[in-house]
A and B are shown apart, each in its own frame.
Chain A
Amino acid sequence: MSVLVDDDTRVIVQGITGGEGKFHTEQMLEYGTNVVAGAVPGRGGQEVAGVPVYDTVTQAAREEDADASVVFVPPAFAGDALFEALDAPLDLVVAITEGIPTQDVSRVYRRLQDTDTHLIGPNCPGIITPGEAKLGILPGNIFSSGNVGLISRSGTLTYQIVDSLTSRGIGQSTAIGIGGDPIIGTDFIQALELFEADPATDAVVMCGEIGGEDEEEAAAYIDENMTTPVAGFIAGRTAPPGKRMGHAGAIVSGSGTGTAESKISALEDAGAPVGDTPEEVVENVEDLL
């Protein structure tokens, strides 16, 4: 078991003819992901890495019976690509693209509320169910199959923790990089809900960072609804207020919301231990299992 993706997931790559799209399509195929189609306007009839390309997402979904897409479309066109994916419709859309204008994402988010689609990202590394499928750019070799779910706003930080888990023999059910933008599709709470409902997930690692109040809201959700234990990590303890740290969403506001301290104490109050170092997070997971 797993959440959102498994080896039955049939995947379209939007932007498959671009450099990143092509490279990661090959990587996904190598990992065993069922990449069944590409979608690029004007490129219908071509093939990339043996995968047939269609002009529209609707055609690709219909002809190849696809139910998910991964979006590598450049920022200027990504908003439109996301609307197209939501319209197909698909069960799962994973938006890798970084730097989509925030107002575009806001409109996509609005449209998303009218659909049953799960949107992951934007500005995320994707989602992986180890041994079955990966949708995105995560390095498959560090993951191993098991019973720990991961949710993270940061790609590389997820890899860091997964690498430690794997090296200690702790496998993962599914890892979801939810993205570093201010507005994202699937948030911590929705991802926690999915893991709570997944019988194969026995513990969840939640990696947050400064900015916004999603972690605080997730802590309240954990307190009230989760029976599956959660281990936390928060990046950005040393970030000065008012300075954006890499991610568009990673900023402690001038009025003092979005601090690491607030998130850490909210999670600990909800019974989710927060590690001081990535290694400590892994030790906490060992204790929780």
Chain B
Amino acid sequence: MRIHEYQAKGLFAEAGIPTPESELARTVDEAVEVADDISYPVAIKAQVHVGGRGKAGGIKLVENTEEAREAADDILGMDLKGYHVDRVLVEEAVDFTNELYIGVTMDRGEGKPVAMVSTRGGVNIEEVAEEDPDAIAREHIDPAFGMHDYQARKVVYEAGIDAGLAGDVASILKTLYNLWEDSDASDAEINPLMVTADDDIIAADAVFNVDGDALFRHPDLEEMEETAADDDLEAKAQEYGFEGSNYVRLSGDVGIIGNGAGLVMTTLDLVDYYGGSPANFLDIGGGAKAERVANALDLVFSDENADAVVFNIFGGITRGDEVANGINDALDQFDEIPKPVIVRLAGTNAEEGMEILNEELVQVEKTLEDAVQAAVAAAEEVEA
């Protein structure tokens, strides 16, 4: 789960990491009032869950009240890479001499956290990692002990941070690590970490992503969760409980429903392989009950791009008879079936399931390959 820059900075400030003076505004008047209170120049920053806001026109530096009004008016209400901007962070513009990068993330390959420091802050750190991996110093942390002070110092010195700043940067890194750990974060990043002419260090931007699976023990963070979906179908998917990564909308014309991430991905790949184009990824997961299946069908029927639906279930936890009842119930909700549905069941109770299925309403295929090809053909027919 991603949180906004202003929320992340709130967490940082509370933890003792210096941040610029700032305040959130939801209207142009509020933004101007806050900007006047903070002395100019001031930055007006769109608060949306996308990267690259600056380049997309979502961040503006203003010198006076007039410019502040104009910038706030431009940014509030704008559409930034598909996201509606409904609030801005109005922030003191920091006069910096240097920009650093610090971050903490989980290294999945090593199975442990890693802290990263670079003197090349202020730019896309993934590009730096690509071009010049040595420009980022890394230190793996033993999760049983957390970050030792020496490790914070070590990675800061390895990165080549000036000796005069090293102590302060190490201290901020340690604080960031502890916050990352205490909050069950997945990524915590300060880029840039600005250095001023007086050698003050300030977190000028903030990325903080929290492990969605850990929100149950962080009610304060859970409150920050927003249905980031501006896409109607993704919003509907969340309402139906196909949260997070279980529904991904794509742009093709074959709707796909299945169980198990690997098999659903494979079904997408097969649609592509047989010359079609997937409209979505939808994993209804294990233990799918009739209502959940009905919701899944309704969701994919609502996608105007999808001309046909392939419903592929291999039963482990999910039993074929449950799935078949779910499909029949879902189909009963429609006066007429809006799109051809091709079903393939296998595994636990698959035969019972296929007997239950209403073959007047759906086409039943015995193999995955046949089902996918039938769906691709059906979508093409609708198109024609």
Interface on A for B, CB 8 Å cutoff?
A: 20, 75-76, 98-107, 109-111, 125, 137-139, 141-142, 152-160, 163, 180, 182-183, 207, 209-210, 212-214, 217, 233, 235-240, 243-251, 254-255, 276-279
Contacts and interface: CB of A to CB of B under 8 A. Distances in A.
Contacts of B260: 154-157, 246
B261 A246 contact: yes
A141 B217 CA distance: 39
A244 to B, nearest CB: 4
Interface string B259-281: 11111111011111100001001
A236 B246 contact: no
28 contacts: A75-B213, A102-B186, A102-B213, A103-B143, A106-B106, A110-B144, A111-B144, A137-B317, A141-B348, A152-B262, A154-B260, A154-B261, A156-B260, A156-B347, A157-B265, A183-B106, A209-B262, A235-B261, A235-B262, A235-B265, A236-B268, A238-B278, A239-B268, A245-B283, A246-B264, A249-B108, A251-B245, A279-B369
A176 B212 CA distance: 27
B269 A101 contact: no
Contacts of B259: 156
A85 B147 CA distance: 27
Interface residues of B, number: 55
B262 A163 contact: no
A139 B347 contact: yes
A163 B266 CA distance: 15
B150 to A, nearest CB: 19
A159 B130 contact: no
Interface of B: 106, 108-109, 111-113, 126, 129-130, 142-144, 181, 184, 186, 211, 213-214, 216-217, 244-246, 248, 250, 258-266, 268-273, 278, 281, 283, 286-287, 314-317, 346-348, 367-369
Contacts of A154: 260-263, 265
Contacts, number: 180
A109 B112 contact: yes
B112 A110 contact: yes
B262 A109 contact: no
Given A20-B287, A255-B130, A107 B144 contact: yes
A100 B144 CA distance: 17
B144 A250 contact: no
B368 A278 contact: yes
A105 B248 CA distance: 26
B261 A209 contact: yes
Ranked 8 nearest A-B pairs via Cβ: A154-B262, A246-B261, A156-B260, A244-B245, A157-B262, A101-B214, A156-B263, A182-B108
A239 B265 contact: yes
A141 B264 CA distance: 22
B143 A110 contact: yes
A245 B261 contact: yes
A125 B260 CA distance: 10
Nearest to B317: A137
